[in-house]
Amino acid sequence: MPKHKKNGPLSLQGAVKKQLFKSGVELPLKVLHRDSAAAGRGLPAYLHPSSLQQLLHDGAAAEPQAQEQQSSGSSAAGSSALFLQLASGSDCVLHARACADVAPGSIQLDEVQQANLRLCAGEVYKFSVFQHDSSAAGADDAAASSEEEDQQQQQQQQQAEQSMQEAADDSNEDMEDAAAAVDMPFELTDLDCEVRLLHAQQQQQQQQQQQQAVQVDAVALTRAFCKQCCWRVLAVNEYVVAEIPGLPPLLLRITAANTLTAEEQQEALGYHCFRGLLTPDTTVYMTTALSQQQQQQQQQQQQQPGDVADSAAVTATQQQLLQLSVADANPNSAALQQQQQQQQQHDAAAHVTKVTPPVQSRVAAAAAGVQLLNAVSRAAAPPATNVVHVYTNDGEWFPVKKKLLRPCIALTKAVRDSGDSAPTVHVDVDTLTFDRLLIFLEAQALQRQLPGFAIHYLDDLQRAGEQLGLRSLQEYCAHLKGTRQAALGVYSFADVQRANASGKVWLLLDGMVLDVGRWLPEHPGGAAIIPAQSLNCDCSRFFEMYHASRESFLYIAEFYIGELVPEDLPHVPLGGKQPPSSDFLMQLREYTAFRQPMLAQLAQRAPVTHLGAGKARSAAA
């Protein structure tokens, strides 16, 4: 299979903390490899009926799409079919059916399904039932947290939202229509598929001898694709193998998916579509990698203001892409060398500085081996005028809808611009911070739960709010800082020992108290090593030994719950055979400047003495 990104470009499921669509049952299943050449392509995933019943939780969850299929007279899926996703989150969704031939506790997948979900045969993964119910998203978020700490965080979040409501109302006069569109449809209106040869290298020698690409009727390919995938959930960057009699297997990659029409997308806020349900009403566009690249170049020329392309350069690029469709991917190919020489002569005569399009040879060979016939292209959309082209201080470009930027008073002139082209602004904000700022603006505009930003992002976000005149973000960051500071505590060594004895995982790191219990399953070194080595001691030496990258310092703020009382510091045993190095402690303290208010508070605090305190400290030591 060709290389691909880990998640879709508009992924909302790949790395989220809590799943929006998730059943209560998570079932570990061992992945078994199925030979698609022998069993047939396009088959669903198979698992034992007992496993299916466990996932359905004795009928508590049902597949809405199966009911819809039955009502429409389709026999593609029945009562023994369901949709599965990885319990940890996955863009791609499996269509699964029960099969008694599969061993209990296993799931049978072909190579394409394994590649889509990034799974390895022989390994065990947790699966859950996929259920799409956008109207219940808020309820799922609320029900996902049952622990006392989660409830406290929700209360703090609600207080933050209430305090922000007045500021949001002032800038959201015409956001009501956008807020009403929170519940997006799930049925796809249109879909883009990129077509390649499945085994391009095996077909390469034959094509070189024949000097022609495989001709594929786009209409017949669309019929085969829809027959195989109708009433299934498809995601961006998902692969599907389609077969047409008389032709080699074709690899289709989903490159775009929309549940709204182009007109609806212009008006909608918070529209991030990366998957949906393929129905008989979905319009499917077939294209190749090379033709897609030409379309992207044309779109960039239309969208980016002030960038006028030389017609000779455009013609030269198109000629090169067309030549790649018949040339071998080998850079020493005689046809390719001849084309390059002719292109160099053409550029020299026209005084054109040519930039070679970034097409990898393997991808070019796979795409060049296919020539689509009767393909219908997506209609070119006119340049949008309801957006502002925002350039960050590190050179990235964001086309942002004017409605979303209206609360930013520093961008008022660009937002109110009524010209025939989209205005351009440059902001002194880095890309990552501006991306988080957009997340805040979207949540505020759609009246959704405001994001709980990590504490080490708040200073940058607050400065960005000052730069753009976004008062609501400044106040929200200040509120989060105050809420986080109020939640911090001062603990004795005995408090830490009692917490660990009760099942929690509290660590002591240079006087900081860290609660890492909820993070243990995600620890790259495994969930067992920290409780085995680092409880009830100063774990600074272990942290230095196992974390060569200082990137791990960035996570400390997420676990920080307070400080150890200074009088107990001498009584905490050191973890490891020797103390941490002075260089490590210096860097650690540079990365943990967020603890300075707590340290200042401790410096002004008189030591706490009470009856039995000395006895408790000696017992703890």
Does the reported pTM lie above 0.85? no
pLDDT for 101 = 92
Q: Tokens 């790395």 identify what position?
A: 15
Amino acid letter for position 157: Q
pLDDT for 400 = 93
More confidently predicted of 324 and 273: 273
| 478-534 pLDDT per residue, tens | 888 887 777 788 999 999 999 999 999 999 999 999 998 887 877 777 888 889 889
Residue ranges in 354-507 assigned as alpha helix (H): 361-368, 402-405, 412-415, 431-445, 458-468, 471-487, 493-501
Mean pLDDT rounded to a whole number for the chain: 74
Residue among 342, 186, 407, 364 at smallest CA distance from 278: 186
pLDDT for 405 = 92
Report helix, strand or coil for 560: strand
- Residue 360: φ, ψ to 5°: -70, 145
Tell me how far apart the alpha carbons of residues 131 and 353 are, in angstroms, rounded to a whole number: 52
Structure confidence at residue 349 as a pLDDT band (50, 70, 90)? low
Region of 295 on the Ramachandran plot (φ > 0 left; ψ -120 to 50 alpha; else beta): alpha
pLDDT for 200 = 57
DSSP β-ladder status, 190-197 and 283-288: parallel
pLDDT at 382 over 70: yes
pLDDT for 218 = 92
Q: How far is CA 287 from CA 101, 195, 201, 260, in A?
A: 39, 6, 20, 21
Domains of the chain: 22-132 (2.40.40.20), 183-373 (3.10.330.10), 387-481 (3.30.710.10), 489-619 (3.10.120.10)
More confidently predicted of 23 and 308: 23
DSSP β-ladder status, 27-33 and 45-47: unpaired
The top-scoring range by mean pLDDT among 38-47, 337-346, 466-475 is: 466-475
pLDDT for 170 = 39
CA 345 to chain centre: 45
DSSP assignment of 299-353: HHHHHSTT-PPPHHHHHHHHHHHHHHTTS-S-TT-HHHHHHHHHHHHHHHHHT--
pLDDT at 130 over 50: yes
Please answer whether residues 425 and 391 qualify as being in contact, where contact means their C-beta atoms are separated by less than 8 angstroms. yes
Please answer whether residues 204 and 223 qualify as being in contact, where contact means their C-beta atoms are separated by less than 8 angstroms. no
DSSP assignment letter at 14: T
Q: How far is CA 239 from CA 35, 94, 216, in A?
A: 16, 12, 18
Kindly report which listed range (234-243, 407-416, 501-510) carries the lowest average pLDDT score.
Answer: 407-416
| 317-343 pLDDT per residue, tens | 344 434 443 343 344 445 445 555 655
More confidently predicted of 323 and 93: 93
